[in-house]
A and B are shown apart, each in its own frame.
Chain A
Amino acid sequence: MKSFRIVVLAKQVPDTRNVGKDAMKADGTVNRAILPAIFNPEDLHALEQALCIKDRFPDSTITLLTMGPVRAAEILREGFYRGADDGILLTDRAFAGSDTLATSYALSCAIRKIKNFDIIVCGRQAIDGDTAQVGPQVAEKLGIPQITYAEEIVSLTENKIQIKRRLERGVEIVESSFPVLITVNNSAPHCRPRNAKRLMKYKHASTLSKRQESEEDYLSTGNHAHLNIKEWGVVDIECDHAQLGLGGSPTKVKKVDNIVFQSKESRRLDDFDDDINVLMKELITSHIIG
């Protein structure tokens, strides 16, 4: 039976979805430190699609690949709990300051090293940037086709995949051969929950840096090779250094402004009947409504 080699691209992101007031500093900037770091939601949707492929072709392997600081290994562990076979953390100071293009270049070099991949799956976009660029940019760098906004795998055979993708006002079913890169939409099914057995098995999985930090017996994970999360730096991938990090990023942030809105003179009303009646009367007499 055919087995697919699947790579899932994932990102650890600050949870920007419910930024409370306490997340804002007095000067109007975001206090990133207090936002929880999470598995980017659409990347979890992507992991689910990979697991669905593995359900149908059980000999398939799922490698989770993330780029970020050492801490980002947390989402690899989360991926193990849910069914990923292998995890790679791409981490190096040289990657710092990457824009989407430099990020996709580094990821594509890491994927080349993984080799023989059939399917790359990732979320459509990350919630901290919403650009939806890294997926297509990686596909272009690898010279493979892409299917964006995927919602469902309609059919899968040894050499073809059909995907339903969500458009603005409808759906489209497209067919591709392998290898292919798929970006998964937020309308796709949520990821299955953690598996209790896998949780027990992998809860101590860590990277070498992490073990060094905690001054454990870091050189060996004993007989538990699965507890070692692979960590790749610039030296581990074949790449052109000029295309990495800040230097390899064509876009630069010229300036960042905190937002100060000109406060309007707003009228304050309570939810008493009288207040609302006065407001509605004003709106009707000034022909804004009615």
Chain B
Amino acid sequence: MNNVIVYCELDEGKIADVSFELLTKGRSLANQLNCQLEALLLGNNLKGFEKEIFPYGVDTLYLADDNRLSPYSTLPHTSVMVNLFKEEKPQIALMGATTIGRDLGPRVSSALKSGLTADCTELEIGDHEDKKLNKVYKSLLYQIRPAFGGNIIATIINPDCRPQMATVREGVMKKEITDANYKGKIVNLDVSKYVDETAFIVKVIERHIEQSKIDIKNSPVVVSGGFGVGSAANFKLLFNLAALLGGEVGASRAAVDAGYVEHERQIGQTGVTVRPKLYIACGISGQIQHLAGMLESSIIISINSDPNAPINKIANYVIVGKVENVIPKMIRYYKENTK
């Protein structure tokens, strides 16, 4: 009761990275709150996954093993979660801000009349004093996220409703096992008690899943373009430089919205979070949502014709100039001076 619970997501038969990242965060929150860490896994043929989950310091793993729970479908997963939460009354529930988490989270919050904060970039424990009510709330979950055009950072709390729910994007939190030999217990849920037959009304007819070809998250060099790159054709320069340096191409939201590159390349609060050795920002002005996704890069180079672009403040090197002039020069020097 009153524990921290993480919804573990299956991505084509594997536990999603974001779930491990949330378990890592969940463990540290549970330590601060002096409570247990629990995990919930729904799907088909779940035997064996406990070996991957327990090392993150999970005390209880709830398994809902039923072939009707795979692939993911909104209503049955909602139903298991809502009914389990009614019994176990977790104080905090975390899930990935993925297609699944963003489909499921609001549904569960609506059923439980509980608050949900999307796309958090930090989670902390802290107190809150309501001066009007003259009441002090101890050990709430601070759900921290950029808001309103990314120009402010808001700290959101749910003083009265439980669970305090939050979604977090993949890559935002670090993934770290607690103890390879950590022992928790498994609780097998009787799915028929948690899900009504009527929940299977929506049917998955077809699925086509491709292996992701783009791996920005683990790339040592990211060459990233913004609206200032100007066109999809100009992005070719970025691809050339990235290929030469053994890196990947990223983009700001403005560049993705303008259709210059595919959505998978979006870096920032609502995209991927990266921590490369080198981040080259080309024609990116630097809204907070974007910075949230690349701030921890070791070296940041900003190429921008605007000497006062906000991103320049956090850059190690600022090149004032046009992207289409600067990149060819970088390419040329690199080709001439490396093998």
Contact = CB atoms under 8 A, between A and B. Distances in A.
Does A associate with B in a complex? yes
Chain A interface SS verdict (over half): mixed
Interface stretch (B23-31, B174-182, B328-336): B328-336
Interface string A238-261: 000001000001111111111101
Nearest to A128: B148
A59 interface: no
A162 B288 CA distance: 38
Chain B interface SS verdict (over half): mixed
Contacts of A216: none
A139 B204 CA distance: 19
Interface string A174-191: 111100100000110000
Contact of A268 (B118, B142, B147, B318): B318
Contact of B319 (A14, A17, A258, A276): A276
Contact of A19 (B143, B151, B201, B313): B151
B: contact size bracket? 35 or more
Interface stretch (B33-41, B42-50, B52-60, B154-162): B154-162
A141 B316 CA distance: 50
A213 interface: no
A197 interface: no
A204 B301 CA distance: 52
Nearest to B160: A250
A136 B106 contact: yes
B206 A263 contact: no
A22 to B, nearest CB: 13
B269 to A, nearest CB: 8
A100 B110 CA distance: 9
A176 B149 contact: no
B313 A263 contact: yes
B202 A284 contact: no
Most buried by A among B269, B302, B312, B329: B329
Given A169-B212, A276-B319, A284-B337, A136 B103 contact: yes
A261 B333 CA distance: 32
Nearest to B244: A289
B51 interface: no
Interface stretch (A24-32, A81-89, A111-119, A225-233): A24-32
Interface in B132-169: 142-143, 146-149, 151-161
A208 B338 CA distance: 72
A252 B159 contact: yes
Given A100-B106, A169-B212, A256-B147, A251 B334 contact: no
B153 A256 contact: yes
A250 B209 CA distance: 37
A18 B227 CA distance: 10
B209 A281 contact: no
A50 B212 CA distance: 32
B221 A257 contact: no
Contacts of A193: none
Contact of B320 (A19, A24, A264, A268): A268
Contacts of B143: 251
Contact of A273 (B119, B205, B317, B329): B329
B271 to A, nearest CB: 11
B158 A283 contact: no
B14 interface: no
A177 B287 CA distance: 42
Nearest to B339: A290
Contacts of A173: 204-207
Nearest to A146: B74
A180 B203 CA distance: 13
Contacts of B109: 101, 133, 137
B338 A99 contact: no
Given A139-B107, A172-B204, A252 B151 contact: no
Interface of B: 71, 73-75, 78, 98-99, 102-107, 109-111, 113-119, 128, 142-143, 146-149, 151-161, 201-212, 221, 227, 245, 254, 257, 263-264, 269-270, 277-278, 287-288, 291, 298-302, 307, 312-322, 325-326, 329-330, 333-334, 337-338
Interface of A: 14, 16-19, 23-24, 28-30, 99-101, 104, 128-141, 145-149, 162, 166-177, 180, 186-187, 243, 249-259, 261-264, 266-271, 273, 275-277, 279-281, 283-284, 288-290
Which 9 interchain pairs have the tightest Cβ spacing? Answer: A271-B321, A250-B115, A251-B115, A140-B110, A133-B106, A170-B209, A137-B110, A16-B149, A136-B106
